[in-house]
A and B are shown apart, each in its own frame.
Chain A
Amino acid sequence: MAAVVGAELMLVVCLQLLAGYMIRRNATRSFDTALHGQALSTAAQVRFTEGPTPELQFDNALPLSLNSKVPDLFRIETQDGRVLTSSHGLDDLRMMRGEERIWEFTWKGTTYRGLYLPDVPVMDAEENAPKSSATLNVTYAASTGDMMSSLNRAFLTILVGGLILLMLSVFVSFRAIERGLSPVTELAVSANSISTRDWDLKLQPSVFKVEEIAPLADAMSRMVQTLHAAFQQQRDFTSNAAHELKTPVAVLKSTLQSLLQQPRSGEVYRDGIGDALQDLGRLETLLHAMLRLARAEQNPGPGELAEFPNADVVGTCEAAIARLAPLAHNRETSISMAIPSEAVIVAAPPEDLEIVWANLIENAIRYGPSHSEVRVKVSCCEGVVQVAIEDGGSETLLQDMEKIFERFYRGDESRSRDSGGYGLGLAITKAFVQRYGGSISATPLEPSGLRVSVEFPSSGEKSNSSPKNLI
Chain B
Amino acid sequence: MRVLIVEDEARLAGNIVRGLRESAGYAVDQASDGAEGSYMARSNPYDLVILDLMLPEMDGRTVLRRLREDGFTFPILVLTARDDKETIVSVLNDGADDYVSKPFDLGELIARSKALIRRAKGHSATNLLVGNIEINTANRSVQRDGKPVLLTGMEYRVLEYLVYRRGAVVTKTELLEHLYDFNWERFSNVIEVYISGLRRKLEDDASSKVIRTIRGHGYTLEG
Say whether A associates with B.
Answer: yes
Interface residues of A (CB under 8 A from B): 243-244, 246-247, 249-255, 257-258, 261-262, 275, 279, 412-415, 417
**What's the Cα separation between A261 and B25 when bound, in Å?**
13
**What's the Cα separation between A258 and B16 when bound, in Å?**
8
Binary interface profile of B, 20-63, with partner A (CB < 8 Å = 1, else 0)? 00110000000011000000000000000000001111000000
**What's the Cα separation between A255 and B106 when bound, in Å?**
9
A412 surroundings in chain B (CB, below 8 A): 56
Known contacts A257-B106, A413-B55, A414-B33: A247-B9 contact under CB 8 Å = yes
B22 surroundings in chain A (CB, below 8 A): 258, 261-262
User: Told that A254-B106, A413-B33, A414-B8 touch, could you supply 5 new A-B pairs with CB distance under 8 A?
Assistant: A246-B81, A251-B12, A254-B12, A258-B22, A417-B9
Kindly state whether residue B103 has any CB partner on chain A within 8 Å: yes
21 residue pairs bridging A and B, Cβ less than 8 Å apart: A246-B81, A247-B102, A249-B102, A250-B81, A250-B102, A250-B103, A251-B11, A253-B104, A253-B106, A254-B103, A257-B19, A257-B105, A257-B107, A258-B15, A258-B19, A258-B22, A262-B22, A275-B11, A412-B56, A413-B33, A413-B56
**What's the Cα separation between A243 and B103 when bound, in Å?**
10
Within the complex, the shortest CB–CB distance from A239 to chain B, in Å, comes to 9
**What's the Cα separation between A335 and B27 when bound, in Å?**
48
Q: Which of A250, A258, A261 contacts B104 (CB 8 A)?
A: A250
Within the complex, the shortest CB–CB distance from B83 to chain A, in Å, comes to 8
Residue of A nearest to B19 (CB): A258
Q: Which of A255, A258, A414 has the most CB of B within 10 A?
A: A258
**What's the Cα separation between A262 and B102 when bound, in Å?**
23
A251 surroundings in chain B (CB, below 8 A): 9, 11-12, 15
Contact B82 A254 (CB under 8 A): no
**What's the Cα separation between A414 and B55 when bound, in Å?**
8
Binary interface profile of B, 100-125, with partner A (CB < 8 Å = 1, else 0)? 01111111000000000000000000
Q: Which of B15, B54, B81, B102 has the most CB of A within 10 A?
A: B15
B102 surroundings in chain A (CB, below 8 A): 246-247, 249-250
**What's the Cα separation between A128 and B81 when bound, in Å?**
139
Kindly state whether residue B18 has any CB partner on chain A within 8 Å: yes
Within the complex, the shortest CB–CB distance from A418 to chain B, in Å, comes to 9
B11 surroundings in chain A (CB, below 8 A): 251, 254-255, 275, 279
Contact B81 A243 (CB under 8 A): yes
**What's the Cα separation between A262 and B110 when bound, in Å?**
14
**What's the Cα separation between A250 and B16 when bound, in Å?**
11
**What's the Cα separation between A64 and B93 when bound, in Å?**
117
Residue of A nearest to B82 (CB): A243
**What's the Cα separation between A253 and B100 when bound, in Å?**
14
A250 surroundings in chain B (CB, below 8 A): 9, 12, 81, 102-104
**What's the Cα separation between A120 and B22 when bound, in Å?**
144
Within the complex, the shortest CB–CB distance from B123 to chain A, in Å, comes to 25
Binary interface profile of B, 110-144, with partner A (CB < 8 Å = 1, else 0)? 00000000000000000000000000000000000
Within the complex, the shortest CB–CB distance from A259 to chain B, in Å, comes to 9
Q: Which of B8, B16, B101 contacts A254 (CB 8 A)?
A: B16
Contact B81 A414 (CB under 8 A): no
Contact B19 A254 (CB under 8 A): yes
**What's the Cα separation between A255 and B105 when bound, in Å?**
11
Residue of B nearest to A413 (CB): B56
**What's the Cα separation between A244 and B103 when bound, in Å?**
11
Q: Which of A244, A246, A254 has the most CB of B within 10 A?
A: A254
CB-based closest 9 A-B pairs: A414-B56, A413-B56, A250-B103, A254-B15, A250-B102, A257-B106, A246-B81, A249-B103, A246-B102
Contact B18 A414 (CB under 8 A): no
**What's the Cα separation between A275 and B18 when bound, in Å?**
14
Known contacts A249-B102, A413-B8: A257-B15 contact under CB 8 Å = yes
Contact A414 B106 (CB under 8 A): no
